[in-house]
Amino acid sequence: MRILFHIARAAALTLGMLSLGGVSHAQMPPLKAGFVYIGPTGDHGWTYAHDQARKAIESRFGGRVQTTFVENVPVTADAERVIRDLALKGHKIIFATSFGYMNAVEKVSRQFPNTVFMHATGYKTGKNYGIYDVRTYEGTYMLGVVAGKMSKSGKLGVVGSTPIPEVIRNINAFTLGARSVNPAASTRVIWVNSWFDPGKEREAALALISQGADVLMQNTDSPAVVQTAQEKGVYAFGWNSDMTQFGGKAQLAASRLHWDVIYQQEIEKVLANNWKTVDLWYGVKEGAVNIEQFGSAVPEEIQKLALDRRDAIKIGKLHPFTGPLKDNNGKEMLAAGKVMADADLRKMSVYVEGVEGSVPK
């Protein structure tokens, strides 16, 4: 697998070399921020969303920040090597954007105590090592509301990546959203055991469609599911980004992730020399998650319903995981009126009622 290093600097840095009032901006070296990606920046999914955020913060900071990104970094010894190399090259904050990098980040962070390390979707922290995530389940809940209204069969399909709590949460929230408007809706999941494998994603989508699913969601990174839905005349959703260009008739909406909210905040702290260990989990409230790019097939009243749910989440009137909740074996997960704690959300390992089958072990 090719691992590519890219260094980018905003045009403002060049302009900043012009002297103003006798002080040259060129004498003030920019903060170097590194980004480590699991997939290609052109996946139009997870990595694409992170890279769009990188570009956004680079534009906002201008000559004060220089970014480097490394794409296609597998969860092997290569990850540790890449992260260490970024630290050796003077990057003062490094964002490792995939769960599988956790142990590598933990190890390298101990070797570079003056560098800040931020790991996405993990659970380990240290003195110079923080974690961050976005509440993707809020987005999938809203997609579920749309799916439940738009499905004619009541059969929904999800192309799953790998069965970790994050993905199980998303599947469950999607199902809860759908069943909130169509109690008879059900969800079937096919796992591809990969974050980015267009061929397997397409095969899974075709299998779900053959089993009667007329609305698909994915927790994988390529646009293959949307493309397949377009080809077969069913509906799907953009995942992490707008995928309209791959299926203009198929895409009902997109769950968009705005990682720049976090990146800007943490880089500002490093620039101000006041960074401290953080455990961030941002969602609709903070502007990190949104439902966007509704397709023309979605009636205005359904769009409004989804947006009303979004607004309720934003002000704390709605939480997707509010009891009573049962798992798909009928066992109580949450009592009536209770809201699931973050600690329990983070270790979710079973399907809710309405999802068929069981989570792979």
pLDDT tens for residues 38-73? Answer: 999 999 999 999 999 999 999 999 999 999 999 999
Strands 129-134 and 186-191, bridge-based pairing:
unpaired
Q: What is the DSSP string of 324-343?
A: SEEBTTS-EEE-TT-B--HH
**Residue 3's pLDDT band (cuts 50, 70, 90):** low
Strands 23-24 and 19-20, bridge-based pairing:
antiparallel
Phi-psi region of 293 (alpha: psi -120 to 50; beta: other; left: phi over 0): left
Rounded mean pLDDT of 126-144? 98
Q: What is the pTM of this model?
A: 0.90
Distance CA 80, CA 57 (A): 25
pLDDT at 209 over 70: yes
**What mean pLDDT is reported for the chain?**
93
**Residue 36's pLDDT band (cuts 50, 70, 90):** very high
Instruction: Look up residue 245 and give its two tokens.
Output: 């260009």
pLDDT of res. 28: 76
Cis amide prior to 74 (ω within 30 degrees): no
Instruction: Look up residue 132 and give its two tokens.
Output: 């961050």
Buried/exposed code over 180-203 (b: 16+ C-beta within 10 A; e: otherwise): bbbeebbbbbbbbebbbbbebbbb
pLDDT at 345 over 60: yes
Buried/exposed code over 130-151 (b: 16+ C-beta within 10 A; e: otherwise): bbbbbbbbbbbbbbbbbbbbbb
Distance CA 194, CA 51 (A): 20
pLDDT tens for residues 222-258? Answer: 999 999 999 999 999 999 999 999 999 999 999 999 9
Q: What is the DSSP string of 185-228?
A: -EEEEEE-S-SS-HHHHHHHHHHHHHTT--EEEE-SSSTHHHHH
pLDDT tens for residues 168-200? Answer: 999 999 999 999 999 999 999 999 999 999 999
pLDDT of res. 7: 59
pLDDT of res. 2: 44
Distance CA 315, CA 317 (A): 6
CB atoms within 10 A of CB 103: 14
Instruction: Look up residue 178 and give its two tokens.
Output: 């759908």
pLDDT-above-90 percentage for the chain: 91
CB atoms within 10 A of CB 311: 12
Distance CA 111, CA 104 (A): 11
Q: Mind spelling out the 3-state secondary structure of 217-242?
A: EECCCCCHHHHHHHHHCCEEEEEECC
pLDDT of res. 12: 38
Cβ neighbours for 10, distance < 8 A, ≥ 6 positions apart: 58, 59, 61, 62, 63, 65
Distance CA 129, CA 276 (A): 9
**What domains are there in the chain, each with its CATH number?**
4-134 (3.40.50.2300), 136-256+291-345 (3.40.50.2300)
pLDDT at 335 over 90: yes
Q: Which helix H or strand E contains 6, and what residues bound it?
A: strand 4-9
Q: Which helix H or strand E contains 34, and what residues bound it?
A: strand 31-36
